[in-house]
Structure 1
Amino acid sequence: MFGAQLPSVPASAVPDDVYLLDVREDDEWAAGHAPAAHHLPMTELPARLAEIPDDREVAVICRSGGRSGQVVGYLLRNGWDQVRNVEGGMGDWAAAGRPVVTDDGQPGRVA
């Protein structure tokens, strides 16, 4: 539906105050994630929509941008209008020098 028109933002330009939604699986999250990210695996999204704010900007991230792109399209079809896909996902996030941590705050890795 949105294709190339999908709203997106480069990983290097994601604002610090955005609601960052990480839709990767539990093992990917455990290996490393953005410090302020909120974890909600893509497969659980329909049952947990109420957890995603609809009154502020939401940036959706996964490993490389594919799953997050699907989630952005889903959210747009379901009433969210301030949502963008993080281009290149966590791979580009880490490559841009942005922090990747584990749940205990230690340095993480993109899995």
Structure 2
Amino acid sequence: MSTITRHHVGPRMSQIVTHNGTVYLAGQVGKPTDDVAQQTKSCLEQIDTLLAEAGSDKTRMLQVVIWLADMSDFAAMNAVWDTWVPEGHTPARATGEAKLATPDHLVEFIVTAAQN
């Protein structure tokens, strides 16, 4: 039986789950008082930190699902994303609009990656 490892376990979720060389991150959100660009930046910084802790990095991302509270923020989010994601290592990606945990959260990233 393969091992499932959980990090930063809380009552509702774990921030990182690894299984069979795959890293699953919980949805990452930014500070609710920030604009979408700053929320995106802080989400991506958190993703870098969590992937490193799990033995991975952004070049190993397999899939990213992005939820925006308002699709009119798509260009502003992408402007930050495009400077962060390594050329030649873009993951499979989907972006949609959804109500997030609070009205002040403007973007959420859900990442799946391979371990190094």
Q: Same fold (TM over 0.5)?
A: no
TM-score w.r.t. the length of structure 1 is 0.34
| Structure label with greater radius of gyration | 2
TM-score w.r.t. the length of structure 2 is 0.33
The structure that is helix-richer by fraction is: 1
